[in-house]
Amino acid sequence: MVRTLTTVWMALFFILLTAGFGATAEAPVSEATSECLDCHSISHPGIVKDWRDSRHATRTPKQGLAVEKLARRVSSESIPENLQTTVVGCAECHTLRPDKHADTVEHNGYRVHVVVSPPDCATCHSTEAGQYAGNIMSHAHNNLAENKLYRQLETSIIGKSRIVGGRVEYQRPDALTQADACYYCHGTKLKVTGLEIRDTELAGELEFAVIEGWPNQGVGRINLDGSQGACSACHTRHTFSIEMARKPYTCKECHVGPDVPAFPVYAASKHGNIFSSLGQDWDFKAVPWTIGKDIGAPTCATCHISLLVNPDGEVITERTHQMNNRLSWRIYGLIYAHPHPLEPDTTIIRNNSGLPLPTDLDGGFASKYLIGKEEMQKRTAEMQSICLSCHSDSWVKGHWTKFENTIARTDAEIKTATEIMQSIWKDGLALGLAKNSNPFDEAIEKQWHLTWLFYANSIRFTSAMAGGGDYGVFAGGRYQLSLAIAGMSDWYRERKQPNVGK
């Protein structure tokens, strides 16, 4: 008898629980989106599920605007009336600004485009879109494609090899290889090349745009409205989950290799250990994110992007999608570490030799194009304000001193490697920039770029994240750096003085 009663209560309990969650399902869906769902919930159930799981499916922009400032996810001050009272569904995004998108087609009575761009998202999230336009990541396509030296590095890696006169020569890579390799992360340049009719199961013949460079979610994608960037690189369609964007796996998609080993270093750091061990109980959805309540250690987003408050609700740091607001040093991707560029468009940079590089070959800065000391200090202070939520002043200071020493030390090692390389070039044992040659494509030149493109980076990332010895030493760090420099030195000595040292 008692059991029966309990069963009744339990049943009620679960009904109510379910009802509680289900309530959001009553949020108003626009007629246009309803029509989309009619077909696509059958033909593409996966993405419809994603969307149904999303906040977009259960809140209207009007509700979003009513939220108090710090907890608000919608940053635009005003949102068009016609979008305010239905949830953000298929049609709300894919029919925005139809005249701007080259891939807009007539689709069951609607003018629909496939590729949603940051200016579309800016309808509700204008602050973030604006910040992201100032983020060097939004320029990732052009910064690579429009820099002659970087293009040469690209060619030396993903170009088509052939043997000419006993030597490897590289031709420019084809567009599909570029899209599959460098531009997967950097973003492709999309282009509508035509229209095609396809016979669909549910709606008969329909017209679609044929898009070169598609699919792609690279961070600096050139969109069909001419804009740069892809919000979906991190805010994965169609859940647009803040939980996902805040977890380090999202950053890992492009930051896992030895060129920029942010994820493996994080995962091996104390912070990553705490996340992996105890993170299952944290709150990754709370806005704002409260240190001392929601999480027990930072993820990538915590330090680089998120709005953080303390348990009293006081702001520790503001949200940013520019991302380098809290970064003084640029520690990877180029020959030497250097202060962050002033502008997200890095193609304008010239060093003292006129090369499109932020440093000279001896490490000197192209200072005109880089932030100054004051700005570096400001950004350092911003980052440290986060560290100081959990660490004492002496801890943070001690950490930073080590980090800046490591920047100086890795730069000194790279200078040793670069001097060997320059001697090799000078003695004509490799071509370098002579005769318009590609300075990155000979075997010994590849040994040289390994030292800075991989090893010095790994060491600095490890130091930056206080990430344990391994990635800074044995796992692509100082061990491999010292091995490569010793190898370059031997290579040079044996070819310069073939009878010495044998």
Q: Which of residues 261-290 bind a second copy (CB under 8 A)?
A: 267-270, 272-274, 276-278, 280
Q: Nearest distance from residue 490's CB to a second copy, in Å?
A: 5
Which residue do the tokens 């006993």 mark? 166
Choose between 285 and 368: whose C-beta lies nearer to a second copy. 285
CB 30 within 8 A of CB 94: no
Residue with tokens 């993903």: 158
d(CA 492, CA 182): 31
Q: What is the CB neighbour count within 10 angstroms for residue 183?
A: 26
Q: Please pick, from the candidates 34, 41, 352, 384, the single residue that binds a second copy as defined by CB under 8 A.
A: 41
312/329 Cα distance (integer angstroms): 32
Candidates 353, 383, 349; CA nearest to 369 is: 349
H helix count then E strand count, the chain = 22, 11
Residues forming a β-bridge with 192? 211
CA dihedral sign of residues 482, 483, 487, 488: negative
**DSSP 8-state assignment for residue 436:** G
- Could you tell me which of 125, 112, 61, 113 has the C-alpha nearest to residue 87? 61
Q: Which is nearer to a second copy, 1 or 77 (CB)?
A: 1
Q: Which is nearer to a second copy, 52 or 366 (CB)?
A: 52
- Show contacts with a second copy in window 105-144 (CB under 8 A): 114
Q: How far is the CB of 305 from a second copy (least distance, A)?
A: 15
- The nearest distance, CB 194 to a second copy, in angstroms, is 12
Chain centroid to CA 435: 36
Footprint (CB under 8 A) of a second copy, residues 466-485: 466, 468-475, 477-479, 482-483, 485
Least distance from C-beta 12 to a second copy, angstroms?
4
Taking the C-alpha atoms of residue 184 and residue 214, their distance in angstroms, rounded to an integer, is: 10
Nearer to a second copy, 130 or 491 (CB): 491
Using CB under 8 A as the binding rule, whether residue 161 contacts a second copy is answered as yes
Instruction: Identify which of residues 162 and 368 has a Cβ nearer to a second copy in the complex.
Output: 162
Q: Is 63 or 273 the residue whose CB approaches a second copy more closely?
A: 273
In angstroms, rounded to a whole number, what is the distance separating the alpha carbons of residues 480 and 477? 6
Our CB check for a second copy shows the closer of 127 and 416 to be: 416
SS3 433: coil
**Number of CB atoms found within 10 A of residue 495's CB:** 13
Q: Based on CB atoms, which residue is closest to a second copy, 293 or 426? A: 293
| 463 touches a second copy by CB under 8 A | yes
Among 23, 25, 42, 434, binds a second copy (CB under 8 A): 42
| Separation between Cα atoms, residue 452 and residue 428, nearest integer Å | 22
Is residue 10 close enough to count as binding a second copy by CB under 8 A? yes
Stretch that binds a second copy, among 72-80, 89-97, 128-136, 448-456 (CB under 8 A): 448-456
CB of 5 to a second copy, least distance (A): 8
Of positions 72, 285, 368, 495, contacts a second copy by CB under 8 A: 495
Interface residue with a second copy among 34, 63, 84, 310 (CB under 8 A) is 310
Of these, 71, 176, 348, 381, which contacts a second copy (CB under 8 A)?
176
Q: Which residues contact 365 (CB under 8 A, 6 or more apart)?
A: 338, 339, 358, 359
Between 80 and 215, CB nearer to a second copy: 215
Interactions with a second copy, residue window 56-95 (CB under 8 A): none
Write the burial class of residue 82 (CB in 10 Å: 0-12 exposed, 13-18 middle, 19+ buried). Answer: exposed
Tracing tokens 């930072």 back to the chain, one arrives at 298
Stretch that binds a second copy, among 30-38, 82-90, 158-166, 343-351 (CB under 8 A): 158-166
**Shortest Å, Cβ 76 to a second copy:** 27
The Cα 241–Cα 51 span in angstroms is 10
Distance CA 40, CA 209 (A): 18
Q: Which of residues 204-223 bind a second copy (CB under 8 A)?
A: 208-211, 214-215, 217
| 439 upstream amide cis, omega within 30 of 0 | no
CB of residue 262 vs a second copy: minimum separation in angstroms? 11
Per CB under 8 A, contacts with a second copy among 363-422 are: 388-395, 398-399, 401-403, 405-406, 409, 412-413, 416, 419-420
- Least distance CB 366 / a second copy (angstroms): 25
Q: Which is nearer to a second copy, 350 or 415 (CB)?
A: 415
